[in-house]
Every structure is written in structure tokens, then in C-alpha cells.
Amino acid sequence: LVIAATGIMVFLATLALAFALTAGRVAETWEDGLAASLTIRLPASAETSTAQMDRIFAILDTTPGLGAPRLLASDEQSAYLEPWLGATFDLSLFSLPQMVDVPIADPGFDPAGLRNRLAGEVPDAVLEDHRNWRAPLVAAADQVRRLGLLALLVIFAGLAAIIVLACQAAMIASIPVISTLRLIGARDSFVARAFVRRFTLRALLGAAGGTLFGMILIAALPNADVAGGFLTGLGFQGWGWFMPLLVPVVAGVVAFFATRAAALR
């Protein structure tokens, strides 16, 4: 019972750890990627003349804190829309807006000043500062990471409760043996050590099996590149693969102290 219960709980703990680490990577990716650039959009309905686009580039060239702007080609825009519209959708039926990708070179860049200049000189241009909606996305990813860590604590608390109940049941079943040992002079610490050793070793065995099964399952999941990057990429990367190896150790420590407390009580 202890081996099976520990294996199941540690398997869930391994998944929760992968979930938390993945949420952390997503938060960092969003924060780095969305903070690095902004977009200027010139609607297709406007008179998107060469003079307007030249004026936009002139404004960008004289704005401090920005890198070299780049006009997105139509095939690049089509590639961005392909995951939603499909590869066979004919985008030539629509007039796509002209998009300018502008890297941010200085974190102290003032987007309000650029927005005011564009509004005064090119009213049809729309400045999209990705940092405006980066904050709630990063906060959501951080919240998911915290929930994953909280799930780890709940799982280990449940594991401790299961081991305590199993230890108490085993001690109740062993009352005649314990009574005999006490009659011949055995101390409480001696009796407790016997149960602690037994349940700790069983918990370690179950934890090793649960961690191994969890890592195999996570390794078999599709990565973000193959599956398109939507709700994928769950798992460990690089040195993160060593993190699950700490789960059986934590499970063993929890089993040791839980069993010791229950046995001595």
C-alpha cells in the first residue's frame, strides 16, 4: 500500500513540477519577447502611399531608443495568420495592412512620445506597444507557476497523511509484538526505528518508480516546435531534467519524519 500510494503521489508531484517549470519558462519568454519590440500598423483602408510609409520611417529614425525598423513582407504576414486560417486560405482576397516591426534598443524608450508624433504626422498609423498587454500575460503565467508549486505542497502533505495512517495501522496490527518487546526492555526509540526504516524504504522505492514513470511520460509529450507551440512544450529542459530527481529525496524525507512522528506518538 505504501509503495503504490507513494508512487502515485510522486507521479503527480513530478507532473506538477513540470507544470510549474513550464509556466515559469512561458512567463520569461513572454516577458523577453514582448518587451523587445513594438509594431506600427497602417490600415489597408488608409491611403497607404509611399510618402506615408517614408514619413513613418523618418519618425522612427529620429526617435531615440529604437533599433532599425523593418517593413513586414506579405508572405511574413501570411505565415503569422496561417495557424488560424490554414495554409490553403487565399489571403490575396483581402487587403492586409502594412506592418512595421520596430525593435526596442533602450528600455527607457518613451512610447507615448512616439504615439503623439505619429498621431500628429501620420494619423492613420496605429502604434501597438506589446508591453501594454505583456503584464497581465506574465502575471497569469506566474500565477500558474505558483499554483503548480502549491500543488506540490498539497501532494506531499497528502503523502505524509497516507504514511501516517499506514504506520498507525501497522502498529495497531503489531500490538502483541510491541508489547512483548517492551516487556523485555525495548525502548520506544528502538520500536520506532523499526517502523521508520520499513516505511521510509518503501516510500523511497515507490517514489523512485513514480518519478521514473512521470519522466518517461513527460519525455514522450510532443515539443512546442513539432506541435505548433499551442498548449505544448510541457516538460523539462536542460538542467531542469535533474529537478525531478529531487522529488524522491523529498518524498523520503517526508516519509521519514511522518513515520517517526506517528510511531513515537
Query: Rounded mean pLDDT of the chain?
Result: 80
Neighbours of 123 (CB within 10 A): 10
The stretch 190-202 carries a mean pLDDT of 87
Query: Averaged over 101-111, what is the pLDDT?
Result: 78
SS3 of residue 104 by DSSP: strand
| 125 or 133, greater pLDDT | 125
Mean pLDDT check: name the lowest of 64-68, 137-141, 153-157: 137-141
DSSP code of 242? G
Residue 204, burial from CB neighbour count under 10 angstroms (0-12, 13-18, 19+) = buried
Mean local confidence (pLDDT), 148-177: 88
User: What residues have CB less than 8 Å from 182, skipping those under 6 apart?
Assistant: 191
So what's the pLDDT on residue 77? 75
Instruction: Evaluate if residue 81 carries a pLDDT over 70.
Output: yes
Q: What are phi and psi of 70, to 5 degrees?
A: -145, 130
> Residue type for 80, please?
Y
Q: pLDDT per residue over 32-57, tens digit each?
A: 655 567 888 887 765 556 788 888 88
Angle in degrees, 0-180, between the axes of helices 2-34 and 246-264, rounded to the nearest 10 = 140
Higher-confidence residue of 229 and 265: namely 265
Q: pLDDT digit string (tens) for 199-229? A: 899 999 999 999 999 889 888 876 655 444 4
Choose among 249, 255, 247: nearest CA to 218.
247
pLDDT at residue 31, as a whole number? 62
